[in-house]
Structure 1
Amino acid sequence: MVDAIDRALVHALQLDGRAPYSRIGEVLGVSTQTVARRFNRLRAEAGLRVIGLPDPELAGRSQWLLRLTAVPHAAQDLAGALSRRSDTSWIKLASGGTEIVSIVHATQSDGNALLLHDIPRTAGITSVSAHYLLHMYVGGPTAWRGRAKSLTPAQESALRSSRAPGAGTGAAAGTPGRGAVRALDVGDGKLLAGLGADGRATHAELAVRTGWSAATVARRMEELQGSGAIYFDVDVDPGALGFTTSAMLWLSVPPAHLDAVGRALAGHDELGFVAATTGRTNLVAQAICASPNALHTYLTERVGAIEHITAIETVPVLRTVKAAAPFAPGLVGLPV
């Protein structure tokens, strides 16, 4: 069970994933030891972790939303194989366990290997659709608003004032502005691998990974964060926070109204992800609600009140197999 302190800790990390325990404790009015103890308990029991990720565009990666339908006995194995790849994230089993939804990160150098080569050769897949992510309204640096309701405006302001320039996370912190930054190189790849494993790793720990000095790590991280080239995401099981029902929403909207509808949906606390895509449906969202009845109410009263949505497909999410993941070299093949 989580309490008000746990929820406030998650909110604080969404604002600043690398905030010291002492600073979080000061803002929450509890001891440093309490913050550390709560963090470790949530990490063990609710999968809480902070992850450093690169901006996909600045990293030269395109993002695709992949929908796979597989025969029942193969779907879980396929989802597991996809989760071991370095070019996938947010893998979900949906629709009775026969559908897999995943984000795929592709580059020109890999030749879209997963989409063009590995998936077509994989046994057990009965249908495939790939949707190019054109614009993200919620997701990435703009995190889910539903879990950012525990701190007062004064507490949020106190955390922001202590944050390094450009070092925000989540919707409450705002999307970092983009500035001039030198291209990511091999050393940055090692730095990102370290931050992908643990976004709260110390400069000394990251220095061991990169071969740089701790001072060089600190300078490079400040540059990358200040430019918006990297951001910090927070993973935590929504069920531990009381959100037990999730569904993917595939919507069709006339192009002239797509941006207006996307912006309207981005203001909904019930949505953890909203993006414009290519395909027969051109807007996709993930709803995260407290119960099936709450999802029904959200769909009928809030989504139903938005004009220009001409069709909606609601697909229940049964399990998240993989959440955010680091970008690292090398791919793990699919079973053929």
Structure 2
Amino acid sequence: MKSDGKPGAADRGSGTGAVPGGPTGFDDLDHRLIHALQLDGRAPFSRIAAVLGVSDQTVARRYTRHRTRGALKVLGLPGAQAVGEVQWLVRVQCAPDAAVAVAEALARRPDTSWVSLMSGGTEITAMCRAPDSDHSDVLLLQKLPRTPSVIGVTAHCRLHQFFGGPQGLINKSGALTGEQIARLSPPPPDPAAAPVTLTDADRRLFDALARDGRTPLAELATATGWSPTTVRRRLTELRATGALYYDVDYDLAQFGYGVMVALWLSVEPARLAAAGEAMAAHPEVGYACATTGPHNLFASVLCRDVGAVYRYLTTRVAALPGVRAMESAPRIRHLKGPGPLFSAAPGRRR
């Protein structure tokens, strides 16, 4: 569900409120640093510094300060399709007095990527992962319906991702120039690469990277039992196939975003690709995918306030091709984002 940034030229004056103004905890250099890390989370500080035109020490100091206070973290995460996983968007309807407990239980599960409590306090939206389609029913059909106070469960298989994963809102911000982006961007994954079968050592590697995508090679070597050289080679291999990507997790409030809304759109099948690609380009959209079910296009939208949400829905969404129906639900509590669950994690994006 995946970053935010400062306004770009295309965003100013749009009236949507997608990119907030006013003081935040991040300045222009921080925006550029976050954009650089979104492009390559393990890029050496020396290379980032050279591209940004500042000293190595400045980059390291900025990153360490934000990382230490919990405002910024780099995560190394598995690319679902490249590792053969199937992802499900799950909507759980609960009795009001049970929704928080059910959401917290879902957040503790290792097979959920993010978990949010939506408007009204009776619906939970979560992204669940299964190693393949044969195992998708374990959580969806067996355990959730048996949970006390769960009224209903619907699950929608993610068919295609239009925006998200290694891409974040910071990529749309204009924080870096095209030349800077080219210097920092790794080669794109091979779309024809076969799904990667992860070994136990690979899973230990991903466990460490999910906690900190910039974990030093020596620590990754200890976690996996490999040599540092083998770790470096395996990181390159996994990145080249799309099995590994880096994401930046940060405090939404530091960018001034006050509202996240989940959108479920019903789009004519012949226009689904066009609508999804158009939505992926919207500066407000942090995640967009095609799914099964009557609402076949899902998106996470971030705005400054509810007025900006209204303007977004009545301008950009209203102009999408083939939209037959729309359902929207503001998020009232975010329990889990990308990466593992931490007991004291601050509010995060997406």
TM-score (norm 1): 0.87
2:315 aligned with 1:301 = yes
Match of 1:57 in 2: 81
Q: Please state whether the residue corresponding to 1:78 is helix, strand or coil.
A: helix
Contact 2:114 2:127 in 1 (8 A): yes
Q: How does 1:273-312 map to 2 (within 5 A)?
A: 273-312=287-326
The one-letter amino acid paired with 1:318 is I
Contact 1:11 1:149 in 2 (8 A): no
Match of 1:331 in 2: none
Match of 2:127 in 1: 103
Match of 1:244 in 2: 258
Q: CA deviation at 1:57?
A: 2.3
Root-mean-square deviation over aligned CA pairs: 2.1
* 1:141 equivalent among 157, 166, 189: 166
Match of 2:58 in 1: 34
CA–CA distance in 1 between the matches of 2:77 and 2:315? 35
Deviations 1:282-334 (A, max 9, x none): 1111111122222111111111112311111111012221111259xxxxxxx
The one-letter amino acid paired with 2:119 is S
CA–CA distance in 1 between the matches of 2:190 and 2:307? 36
Q: CA deviation at 1:133?
A: 0.6
Q: How does 1:143-182 map to 2 (within 5 A)?
A: 143-145=168-170, 148-160=173-185, 163=186, 166=187, 177-179=191-193
Gaps of 5+ in 1: 167-173, 328-336
Q: How does 1:1-336 map to 2 (within 5 A)?
A: 1-45=25-69, 47-108=71-132, 110=135, 112-145=137-170, 148-160=173-185, 163=186, 166=187, 177-179=191-193, 183-325=197-339
Deviations 1:225-266 (A, max 9, x none): 112221111111222112211100110111111111111111
Match of 2:6 in 1: none
Deviations 1:40-92 (A, max 9, x none): 33234454211112221232210000111222222122211111111001211
Instruction: Give the number of equivalent residue pairs.
Output: 316
Contact 1:192 1:326 in 2 (8 A): no
Deviations 1:96-135 (A, max 9, x none): 3221110000134645321122101111212211111111
Gaps of 5+ in 2: 1-24, 342-350
Fraction of identical pairs, as percent: 45
CA–CA distance in 1 between the matches of 2:70 and 2:129? 26
CA–CA distance in 1 between the matches of 2:190 and 2:209? 17
TM-score (norm 2): 0.84
Q: Mark the CA change 1:97 to 1:34 in structure 2 (over 3 Å): closer, same or farther.
A: farther
Q: Mark the CA change 1:188 to 1:240 in structure 2 (over 3 Å): closer, same or farther.
A: same
Match of 1:170 in 2: none
CA–CA distance in 1 between the matches of 2:273 and 2:156? 17
Deviations 1:173-203 (A, max 9, x none): x666453676321111111111111111121
